[in-house]
Amino acid sequence: MPIRPFIRLWNGAALLPLAAALGLASATAATAQQTTGDGDLEVSDAWMREMPQRGGAAEVYLTLTNRGLRTVELVGARSDMASIETLHETDSRSGDTKRMSAVSALRIAPGDSLTLGPGGMHIMLIDLEKPLPAGRALPLRLQFYDGDEISLSVPVLAAGAPVPGEQAASQEP
């Protein structure tokens, strides 16, 4: 007799991964802006390149704008889809070999904007738990020094696809 309720439960549980998959599939956040609970910090133009391999690494780019009256510090990022997430800076002076170093915090003064982009600051995702093909979106949580958090979904773009926030005419090398 307890079999039927069990099956119902199981069916209900089976809907959850489906909903998660649907959430992942929506990449409509490309132009969306998101703010912290207190409205001090705004995140816009988030994006990343596709990473077809499980276990690969990927860089996340976005723009942080401080609308508040105090300096905001981004101190970390979390994703359920990678083993390690760190703030990185690419050393442009290192010549042929691209060197990256960890950054403990990114500070944004009141009224300032900071754009993370290729060849500069980025959020590094290491050891992806599954491939991230173009058209998906990566759920990511940004953590700030004052305890604020922002949850966003980062659109995954194909290699060479236009980047949010760039002029339509400009092209990546």
| Minimum CB distance to Cu ion smaller for 88 or for 136 | 88
Q: Record the tokens describing residue 93, joined without a space.
A: 């002076």
| Minimum CB distance to Cu ion smaller for 91 or for 172 | 91
Identity at 39, one-letter amino acid code:
G
| Minimum CB distance to Cu ion smaller for 100 or for 161 | 100
Nearest to 30, CA basis, from 166, 168, 161, 153: 153
Q: Per DSSP, what are the bridge partners of residue 88?
A: 102, 122
What is the smallest separation between the CB atom of 49 and Cu ion, expressed in angstroms?
A: 13
| Minimum CB distance to Cu ion smaller for 100 or for 134 | 100
| Minimum CB distance to Cu ion smaller for 124 or for 152 | 124
What is the smallest separation between the CB atom of 59 and Cu ion, expressed in angstroms?
A: 6
Nearest residue to the partner Cu ion, using Cβ: 88
Nearest to 74, CA basis, from 46, 110, 104: 104
Identity at 89, one-letter amino acid code:
E
Contacts of 143 (CB under 8 A, 6+ apart): 74, 75, 76, 77, 78, 149
What is the smallest separation between the CB atom of 124 and Cu ion, expressed in angstroms?
A: 3
Nearest to 106, CA basis, from 123, 93, 84, 90: 123
Residues making contact with Cu ion (CB under 5 A): 88, 100, 124
Q: Record the tokens describing residue 18, joined without a space.
A: 């489906």
- Sign of the Cα torsion 15, 20, 23, 25 reads negative
